[in-house]
Amino acid sequence: MGLIAQVGQWFDQRLQLAAPIREVTEHPVPRNTASWFYVFGSAALTVFILQLVTGILLALIYVPSASEAWSSLQALNHDVALGWFIRAMHGWGSNFMVAIVLIHMVQVFLFGAYKFPRELTWIIGVFLLLMTLGMAFTGQVLRFDQDAYWGLGIGASIASRVPIAGPMIVKLMLGGPIIAGATLSRFFALHVFVIPGMLIGFVCLHLLMVLKLGINEWPMPGRLVKKTTYVTEYHELTKRNGAPFVPYAVWKDLFFAAFILLAVAACALYFGPFGPTGRPDPTVIQTAPKPDYFFLWLYGLLSYLPPSMETPALLIGPVVAIAGLVLLPFLSGEGEKSWRRRPIAVLTVLLIAVTLGTLTHLAGFTPWSPHMNAWSGDPVPDKFLHGSTALQRQGALVFQAKQCRNCHSIGEGGGQRGPALDSVAVRLTQDQLIRQVIQGGGNMPAYGKNLSPAETTALVAFLESLHPRTQAPARDAARDMVLREGQAKRPDTQP
Amino acid sequence: MLKENTISRRGLFMKMGILFNGLVATALAVPIAGFLLSSITRGRANGYLSWVPLGPVKDFPEGETRLATFRNPFVTPTDGKTVDTACWVRRVEGEQFQVFAINCAHLGCPVRWFPQSGLFMCPCHGGAYYRDGSRASGPPERGLFEYPYKVQDGMITIQAGELPTPGSPTASLLGKQPPCAARNDLAPRNDLISIDGSKLYASSETNALPGEKKPWA
């Protein structure tokens, strides 16, 4: 017997782990599960391990104190050798992890893997998703910069809307009355101890159940799940037509895991670390905070919900969504697994994907936010001033000086909060323009108290000139008639 | 044949051991819960709110709105810059002020003042407020939060110490009624005359939330 084998035997006599490991690695899986569709779970685990490793490395330098955290991140980025790379790996790893967990979930949902007897595996998976999102949010807080500071304010504002308990939840979340040192410390505890601890525990449970219950077989249209017969049918699949997990299926997992790690490293190398943006100094208010990528959709949603619906949607929405995910295996625990025969399931996934994708895309350029510097930074393009009268030019000045530009675009520049005004004269008559400017309405503030009559007249004269050459400006036919009549009668009327 | 007779001596000891651990755990849970909830209980004793100075009144010209900063009254050693807070001070006239929180009443982003258009604008979701803090447009459901203030010995002081959020009790006490509510003049304004000579109305009825009755609707 060779030396290595002898040492191995010495350890195994004491650890007694060889037999259970062999059982795990060689357990038979249905042949058609050795597919590229089945690699996302192991990829998520791989990225999670990467996050643990890079997280521990970052903790060697990072200081979880509101007064030092930002500087310690700067040191990681600029002073510590390869600190920037480890930060970038951790940041990109988090993006990849959320993405892979979501893809894994979609695959499991479309392949009907949440059905009997894997209901609990799915429910624990839902908790794992929530914890992954919790890690993403707390991680964003640990990057203690302006976005993190104001992001916490947004979190507190949402939490404060809970009836009765709201203010207490805010103080519990912030660790005090304001966002300060205690806030960062408790988010550090959550990000580094509490949530990872729970994640490790739940991941082990999740894996254990996959091993005990077996990997979901490739769904065949027409092969229905019945609680009475499923277990025997599955055993036949694995016993008669199965293959050992190692090496039959595992090689695809290995290749994909390595590919994902390479992809994370490539993104880290090419794009570098995330932030930190400006110092978390609440007296610096020249900032437009934005959440990290995976919460952009929420940022978009919060600006599109009507004010009256916002609080109910924020408080009830997550409860309904989580309850729906948890109850899913109980609502459809049996029956068809194949996505080819579950059109509603496919449409649901598409609807959610399109909704989240659209909101994320919109949050990329935030059409709902005023462009704070447009009034001083984006001039009115020349073409709108060609051949204009002195009054119209004065109006263009009013248009810039009164920050109309922050919400309304002309030409290329300006905000998109309100409608573009390139051809506003075609849509609104003079009277309507005056009323809109002075009284506001339709989500526009009233400018009556901030414009003198002369300024209003000039502004409206400029707005009336904004129409394509081929289209005449809108006019009120009735008003024209009244004015004409008035002119005809003028000699008789009293002053 | 009584059931109690079936419990063995060891079984009884085990149950007593579990009970003993339960009692100890309950006793230990009291200080643990007390520690965890300390950030709430301390606030209940009103230890968070205090009067803090913003500066001499002469620093704030009448009719203007200026940024002021103050240090939060409740400070811990690791707070760094986070305890320095900004607020907008509007001196209406004389000793009449309005001190607005920097946080948008929607989700707490920092609002910026634009004196030219007399509006506060929020960079996050586009909330806008008039110079008196009342809601002008966008997603906020209410006007800006206001700090209570007093003028003493030529200094303006505000009562601060808590992050203003839509649900916090201090916020609901202050600024829930937009200060403009009393001054709403529905009467026609003499300085606003449209081109065809009719008088125009400029009132904060224009601030009405969707669904509320608008006079011209």
Residue of B nearest to A147 (CA): B109
CA distance A425 to A444: 17
Q: What is the distance between the terminal CA atoms of chain A, rounded to a whole angstrom?
A: 123
B128 CB neighbours in chain A (<8 A) are 370, 445
Q: Which of A62, A168, A171 to mutate to test the interface with B (most CBs of B within 10 A)?
A: A171
A166 CB neighbours in chain B (<8 A) are 165, 167-168
CA distance A96 to A239: 36
Q: Where are the domains of chain B?
A: 3-36, 51-182, 184-217
Helices in chain B by DSSP H: which ranges?
9-36, 38-44, 169-173
List beta partners, residue B67.
Answer: B88
Q: Is the dihedral of CA B95, B116, B126, A437 positive or negative?
A: positive
pLDDT tens profile A82-127: 999 999 999 999 999 999 999 999 999 999 999 999 999 999 999 9
Report the gap between the CA of A429 and the closest CA in chain B (Å).
13
Across the interface, whether the CB atoms of A175 and B39 are under 8 A apart is answered yes
pLDDT tens profile B10-58: 999 999 999 999 999 999 999 999 999 988 887 666 668 889 999 999 9
Across the interface, whether the CB atoms of A443 and B138 are under 8 A apart is answered yes
Q: pTM of the full predicted structure?
A: 0.87
Domain B51-182 part of CATH 1.10.645.10: no
CA distance A144 to A275: 10
CA distance A281 to A278: 8
Angle, nearest 10°, between helix axes A83-110 and A343-365?
150
Fold of A374-492: Cytochrome Bc1 Complex; Chain D, domain 2 (1.10.760)
Read off φ and ψ for residue B41, nearest 5 degrees: -65, -35
Out of B80, B125, B207, name the one closest to residue A303 (CB). Answer: B125
pLDDT 10s per residue in chain A (495 long)? 789 999 999 999 999 999 999 999 999 999 888 899 999 999 999 999 999 999 999 999 999 999 999 999 999 999 999 999 999 999 999 999 999 999 999 999 999 999 999 999 999 999 999 999 999 999 999 999 999 999 999 999 999 999 888 889 999 999 989 999 999 999 999 999 999 999 999 999 999 999 999 999 999 999 999 999 999 999 988 888 889 998 898 999 999 999 999 999 999 999 999 989 999 999 999 888 888 888 999 888 888 888 888 888 889 999 999 999 999 999 999 999 999 999 999 999 999 999 999 999 999 888 888 888 888 888 888 888 888 899 999 999 999 999 998 999 888 888 888 889 988 999 999 889 999 999 988 889 998 888 999 999 999 999 999 988 888 888 888 888 888 887 777 655 554
Across the interface, whether the CB atoms of A307 and B116 are under 8 A apart is answered no
Question: What is the widest separation between alpha-carbon atoms in chain A?
Answer: 127
Across the interface, whether the CB atoms of B165 and A166 are under 8 A apart is answered yes
A297 touching chain B per CB within 8 A? no
Q: How many CB pairs under 8 A join A and B?
A: 259
What six digits make up the tokens of B32?
Answer: 């643990």
* Pair A167, B165: CB distance under 8 Å: yes
Q: How far, in Å, are A276, A314, B208, B215 from residue B185 at the CA level? A: 48, 36, 14, 13
Report the gap between the CA of B12 and the closest CA in chain A (Å).
33
Out of A177, A282, A438, name the one closest to residue B84 (CB). Answer: A282
Report the gap between the CA of B214 and the closest CA in chain A (Å).
9
Q: Where are the domains of chain A?
A: 19-365, 374-492
Using a 10 angstrom Cβ sphere, with 0-12 exposed, 13-18 middle and 19 or more buried, the burial of residue A50 is buried
A445 CB neighbours in chain B (<8 A) are 117, 119, 128, 130, 136-137, 206
CA distance B141 to B104: 10
DSSP states along A36-104: GGG-HHHHHHHHHHHHHHHHHHHHTT---STTTHHHHHHHHHHTSTTHHHHHHHHHHHHHHHHHHHHHH
Q: Which CATH class is domain A19-365?
A: mainly alpha
* Three-state secondary structure call for residue B163: coil
* Pair B127, B105: CB distance under 8 Å: yes
B36 CB neighbours in chain A (<8 A) are 172
Across the interface, whether the CB atoms of B121 and A372 are under 8 A apart is answered yes
List beta partners, residue B65.
Answer: B90
